[in-house]
A and B are shown apart, each in its own frame.
Chain A
Amino acid sequence: MNFSIYDFTSFNQWIDKFLYDNLPPFWAVVVEMTIIGLVFLLFYALVGLFLVYAERKVCAFMQNRVGPNRVGPYGFFQTIADFIKLMLKELITIKNADKLLFNIAPFIIIIASFMAIAAIPFAKGLHAIDFDIGILYVIAVSSLGVVGILLAGWSSNNKYSLIGAMRSGAQIVSYELSVGLSLLTIIILAGTMQFSQIVEGQANGWFIFKGHIPAFIAFVIFLIASTAETNRGPFDLAEAESELTAGFHTEYSGIKFAFFFLAEYMNMFIVASIAATVFLGGWMPFHVGAWEGFNHIMDFIPPFVWYIGKTFFVIWMMMWFKWTFPRLRIDQLLTLEWKYLLPINLVNILVMAFLVLMGWHF
């Protein structure tokens, strides 16, 4: 057996073979699924907790503050303490709320973000399922979350929640277009929708460099649109704490609120990892043309580290926006999408198609 931190394929195959040798096929599948589910649950919780901590620290540094620094080293366990507090809190049910929808909504949001993780390649051979329409799947699944937001706003029997949910509906429906079209630009260049092949295609250069200016424009548009899609500042109109107190999750408490909170950060993680995978080469190391020595050193860094590094770079940029810009108004938000981003995007796709047709990319 050859275990390598650079390639997980053989490791996965070994587990698969071991299970099928010792168990009947049905039980082997059950065990495999359970293992994957548990691993993802753990990963989900850890990443969620870490991102909450990271955001607190990042925003603290931008605001001349120290951030959490009491619980554990550098306040590292603060989010865990907060999470325990949220779990122990009372779940308040409101009079005249639609009980069924009110209780379902947080789960829909969290399931949507959970499903999207499954298709993301973390390293070579390290993904739960490698669809040949991976990008389409992720776009489809991640936009399910808006159903949860709409239900939460509708069932809360609170006008602030309802306004927040309606804003969020309009916002996500609009920005879904830009997300899809900017990814489509890269799909033209890559010639495939399968994540593993998209990453393989970037072995000799990331798509953001390969695709000239159109790829860069697509990256910027994707960054804007995905920030809007995850309801984060400056597009956090669904929450808009100075206008709508807390928007669609005003009435939620305890663990249900924690679900919304966690889902927001996980959605951010998902869009950041899609940006990293599609534009920045996923787990591929950074290579420069003919610099053999440099490329060799870069290869020594494990792919998982590359992947996490790129993802967190994108996340950091999104946090940077949030803590710098004031919030847009709803009509300006829709104007930005329909009058600026969408036409630019359509032209951008044409330019990219032309470039690919003429073979002018690297």
Chain B
Amino acid sequence: MKEVINLPVKNIEEEEYHINMGPQHPSTHGVLRLVVSLQGEIVKSLKPHCGYIHRGIEKMCEKDTYPQIIHLTDRMDYLSAHINNHAVCLLVEKALEVEVPERVKYIRTIIDELNRIASHQLWWCSFGMDMGGLTCFFYGLRDREKILDIFEESFGSRLLHSYYTPGGLMMDIHPNFQKGVKDFIKYFRKKIKDYDDILTGNIIMQERTKGIGVLTKEDAISYGVIGPSGRASGFSCDVRKHHPYGVYDKADFREILGNDGDTFTRYLMRMHEMRESMKIIEQLIDNIPAGDYTAKMKAVIKLPAGEYYQRVEAARGELGVYVVSDGNKTPYRMKFRSPNFSNLSALDHISRGVKIADLVAIGGSLDYVIPDIDR
């Protein structure tokens, strides 16, 4: 008798395979590993694996004093280092009920916005590169260099500044600061048109990004997608508007909201934000009041026992700092609520069913910085 064996017939076209994008991959912008399940070229699902650059910053904070913690926050989202510093400074000032001089508030706001522009410029370069337009990379970096030069002139470092201290600034701004910033704004108003010419208006770029990776407003809220990526879905989440700090309440600027929530809208949000940031800087730069660059602070800062939370709008969304203090000079527990971590969580949801090339574009439009995810 002949035995009939029923072999399981696999349909090759429906078979899925996995590829590891990262930890070393040109488009993951750092050591992020995405395990992508593919069917042909179509992404079925993906799983982000974090932790490749985990340094235990939150644990390290428990051993450090508050002025020391500021240096660690630089290393989280290194592209918006000033804004991270600002969060910790504001928290300490709020806890101690210190009133910082008006001059400090102005300078901090201007530098935050410059930092936001620099961060978005770098995002624009890398987004262009993800799309395959290599020339964008050099245009963006060329203009970012001008901001870094201003930073270098004023406080000596280009990437990890640690310029803010609890109660004020480490030193006063350089005499050339105002002129340098005004020159930059004049320069960049012209150059941002180049950005639109080479990438925004390009038909290939628009075809590749419109309607791709759509995130609805409901999903944006439930995944906690914030910052420009969340605002692209129509989720009003700008901390500068809702909970003003610094002198944002004195500046006139718009919170730009998108409707579509696709990759192209996320792209446009950041382009608009650069223009809005320039508007804020233009309003403030001539009105910096005279005065001290720091408030009188004690040599050893001890926060009263209790819980404190402070939020700021970093370049990629809301950065929250949560401190539990037991009255010592070091915090009992410190937690950062980083924008990139929650933005990354939506990646799987919005990239199902797209091509692998779109996955790269979506990743670029979410603009994640890996050290901020892992901390």
Decide yes or no: A323 and B134 within 8 Å by CB, A64-B142, A234-B204, A242-B26 being known contacts: yes
Interface residues of B in 203-218 (CB under 8 A from A): 204-205, 207-208
| A233 to B131 CA separation, bound complex (whole angstroms) | 11
User: Do A245 and B132 have beta carbons less than 8 Å apart?
Assistant: no
A240 to chain B, nearest CB (A): 7
Cβ contacts A321-362/B at 8 Å (1 or 0 each): 001111111111000000000000000000000000000000
* A 224-240 binary contact with B (CB < 8 Å = 1; else 0): 00000000011011001
Q: Does A163 contact B (CB under 8 A)?
A: yes
Least Cβ–Cβ distance between A86 and chain B, in angstroms:
21
Question: Of residues 168 to 215 in B, which have CB atoms within 8 Å of A's CB atoms?
Answer: 198-199, 202, 204-205, 207-208
A114 to B93, CA, bound (A): 72
Whether, in the assembled complex, B129 has its beta carbon less than 8 Å from a beta carbon of chain A, the answer is: yes
Query: Size class of B's contact patch?
Result: 20 to 34
Chain A residue at minimum C-beta to C-beta distance from B364: A242
Judge whether A328 and B139 touch: CB under 8 Å: no
Q: Is the CB of A242 within 8 A of B208?
A: no
Q: Number of residue pairs across A and B with beta carbons under 8 Å? A: 77
B132 proximity list for chain A (CB < 8 A): 233-234, 236, 240, 242, 325-327
Q: Given A63-B138, A160-B19, A163-B41, verify A240-B133 contact (CB < 8 Å).
A: no
- Whether B208 contacts A326 by the Cβ 8 Å rule is yes
Instruction: Find chain A residues with CB under 8 A from B134 CB.
Output: 59, 63, 233, 323
Q: Is the CB of B208 within 8 A of A329?
A: yes
- Which residue of A is nearest B205, CB measured? A326
Q: Which partner residue on chain B sits nearest A167 by CB separation? A: B41
Set of chain B residues within 8 Å of A241, measured between Cβ atoms: 26
> A245 CA to B129 CA in the complex, in Å?
13
- A331 with B355: CB separation less than 8 A: yes
**Cα(A17)–Cα(B9), bound, Å:** 69
User: A62 on the interface (CB 8 Å rule)?
Assistant: yes
Once the chains are docked, how many angstroms separate the CA of A163 from the CA of B19?
A: 11
Q: B128 interface residue, CB < 8 Å from A?
A: yes
For chain B, residues 41 to 70, give those with C-beta under 8 angstroms from any C-beta of chain A.
Answer: 41
Instruction: Indicate if the CB atoms of A328 and B208 lie closer than 8 Å.
Output: yes
- In the complex, whether B360 has a CB less than 8 A from a CB of chain A is yes
A332 touches B129 (CB 8 A): no
Chain A residue at smallest Cβ distance from B142: A64
Chain B binding surface, main DSSP class: helix
The reply on B296 being an interface residue by CB < 8 A is no
B154 within 8 Å of A (CB atoms): no
Whole-angstrom distance from the CB of B260 to the nearest CB of chain A?
Answer: 19
A65 at the interface (CB under 8 A from B): yes
Residues from chain B with a CB closer than 8 A to the CB of A244 are 356
Question: A160 contacts which chain B residues (CB < 8 A)?
Answer: 19
Chain A residues contacting B204 (CB-CB under 8 Å) are 234, 325-328, 332
Is A82 in contact with chain B by the CB < 8 A criterion? Answer: no
Cβ contact of B133, chosen from A167, A237, A245, A325, cutoff 8 A: A325
* A62 pairs with B208, CB closer than 8 A: no
What 0/1 readout, one digit per residue, does chain A (185-212) give for beta carbons within 8 Å of chain B?
A: 0000000000000000000000000000
What is the CB-to-nearest-CB distance from B200 to chain A, in angstroms, rounded to a whole number? 11
A63 to B130, CA, bound (A): 17
Asked if A245 meets B26 with Cβ closer than 8 Å, knowing A233-B132, A324-B198, A329-B357, the reply is: yes
Which of B115-135 touch A at CB < 8 Å?
Answer: 128-135
Quick check: is A243 within 8 A (CB to CB) of the other chain?
yes
| Binary flags per residue of A138-164, CB closer than 8 Å to B gives 1, else 0 | 000000000000000000000110010
Q: What are the residues of chain B within 8 A of A167 when measuring CB–CB?
A: 41
**Beta-carbon contacts under 8 Å, B290-343 to A:** none
Complex: how many Å from CA A237 to CA B204? 14
The smallest beta-carbon distance between B325 and chain A, in angstroms, is: 45
Nearest-Cβ distance from residue B53 to partner chain A, whole angstroms: 20
Q: Do A327 and B357 form a contact, CB below 8 Å, given A64-B138, A233-B132, A234-B132?
A: yes
A-B contact pairs, 10 of them (CB 8 A): A64-B142, A163-B356, A167-B41, A240-B357, A242-B129, A324-B133, A325-B202, A326-B133, A326-B202, A327-B204
Closest 4 A/B residue pairs (Cβ): A327-B132, A326-B131, A63-B138, A326-B133
Which residues of A line the B interface, CB within 8 A? 59, 62-65, 159-160, 163, 167, 233-234, 236-237, 240-245, 323-332
Beyond the given A167-B41, A243-B357, A331-B355, could you list 19 further A-B residue pairs with CB under 8 A, ordered by the A residue number? A63-B134, A64-B142, A65-B138, A240-B357, A242-B26, A242-B132, A324-B133, A324-B198, A325-B133, A325-B202, A326-B128, A326-B133, A326-B204, A328-B204, A328-B208, A330-B41, A330-B357, A332-B204, A332-B207
